[in-house]
Chains A and B, each alone.
Chain A
């Protein structure tokens, strides 16, 4: 079967963020880029599906070349078969991203199953999964913590509000947004890393995917660091005094209860 996974490089959570001079992005050279943690779950699920059903796993990433190539190589080292890099500027919006990904997948021919992470931790949108499904005119489900494949359909577990879980059946090809709990992603082994260097990694330009500037619906500007927080108020005394003072501060000063 033809399995696709869409992955994104994001800044490591530990990275300090510095804003570019024009305020439209962050400074790249200060950042350590990693594969979005939810996308690791997506890659792992794709590899497990390949093990049980056969076929091949193709991984796509859209973004600036260096960091996207790095995460694609990681996915190949985990066991994916082919990488597809779509060269694109930083912070291309979800609409244009999903549209380009849908075109790139269609160019490959048949697709049976597509995995993504439930969201990227850089902009918290959780949009590309659903938009990609809409552009391909197939169903989606997100966030997914259990996935079972049965030929013409899949059955998934979706976590909603307050810990409620839905069991959903999706018929035909579909897009899944992986959540924590779905699996435990494997590490890339050393032989895996060596093998990955020889695996095919194709490069595409946005123009080849019929991308038009009209596809960009959202742009970010005026990036700002948060205003400095006022210094913390430490509350002293024994436990009873601390509790009493805190309760009063929350009511009278902060006015939140």
Chain B
């Protein structure tokens, strides 16, 4: 029977949705589940991990772990995987995990399937799929020559189970051993955004050239706020400096897979489509009925974004 290790990311007592999805999957697979948490204070989040299905929890709590450092984290994670004799390692495909796990895989001589969109784990059988060529096709990923199988899953692909607040887990701790670091974090400049990162967002409201200018883009803010959505953008308006690069969806920006993607005034250049076709439901609002975005959309509105978006914001305010 494989031992499953779920690498959990959290803020305070809140585990990220992607981590909860994977804890749920691991629990339902019928295999023993270990959660791994690394941070300055993991105690509250570790309890949550137990509620969502972890039988064992490994925590590494240290003031020095408040911020991610690839050298320190890759050492801790590699040691945790060995210590827990894990054969299957699951993590949400976040900025942090994407940086961390290739190093871990290289160190452990293990296979890594990154940016996966589907996973099935029943007892010992693991089936994983990932998109290739800008989501133009998907492939089944097969592991070989690898004692551990590491899978990074895109967020919002799996259901989250009900927590059991009576469940507890056996907890062990892991100490920082890295010294003489070659990687030194000198400063961290916080982004202005208080919403989820685009790669983790469940709802995205994105804008393009159709919004006319930087001022025009602002009509998306109340809509996003009402929906609890993260704002996104096409390359054209990032290049025009209406919004920072961190907003960009598509090739040379971020690949996203939310449940709902609302494209406002985005024509749908192929480079943009490459980054968002994984979205479950796509709404396109554009005044040009021939815009390519309509070919990918679930629902389409041909109309003026400056008229439709405020009305839509009102509708959601009444509904939610």
Contacts and interface: CB of A to CB of B under 8 A. Distances in A.
A126 B244 contact: no
B210 interface: no
A53 interface: no
Contacts of A234: 294, 299-302
B280 A256 contact: yes
Given A26-B137, A161-B94, A95 B112 contact: yes
B198 to A, nearest CB: 8
B132 interface: yes
B312 A217 contact: no
B252 interface: yes
B27 interface: no
- Chain B: interface size category: 35 or more
Contacts of A95: 105-106, 111-112
Contact of A240 (B277, B295, B311): B311
A142 B137 contact: no
B191 A218 contact: no
Nearest to B283: A246
Contacts of B175: none
Contact of A257 (B107, B203, B253, B284): B203
Given A17-B137, A235-B299, A161 B252 contact: no
Interface stretch (B48-56, B180-188, B211-219): B180-188
B217 to A, nearest CB: 15
A161 B145 contact: no
Most chain B C-beta atoms within 10 Å of own C-beta, residue among A98, A133, A233, A243 = A243
Contacts of B99: 126, 130, 142
B184 A171 contact: yes
B319 A247 contact: yes
B183 A164 contact: no
Interface residues of A, number: 84
A257 B319 CA distance: 9
A129 B106 CA distance: 11
A145 to B, nearest CB: 7
B320 interface: yes
Interface string B77-112: 000000000000000001110111011011100111
B102 A166 contact: no
A171 B308 contact: no
Contacts of B113: 218
A188 B191 CA distance: 36
A129 B103 CA distance: 9
A247 B144 contact: no
A99 B111 CA distance: 13
A163 B182 contact: no
Given A163-B246, A164-B189, A129 B311 contact: no
A126 B114 contact: yes
A136 to B, nearest CB: 10
Interface of A: 11, 13-14, 17, 19, 26, 37-38, 93-95, 98-99, 121-131, 133-135, 138-142, 145, 155, 159-172, 174, 180-181, 213-226, 229-230, 232-235, 239-240, 242-244, 246-247, 249-251, 254, 256-257
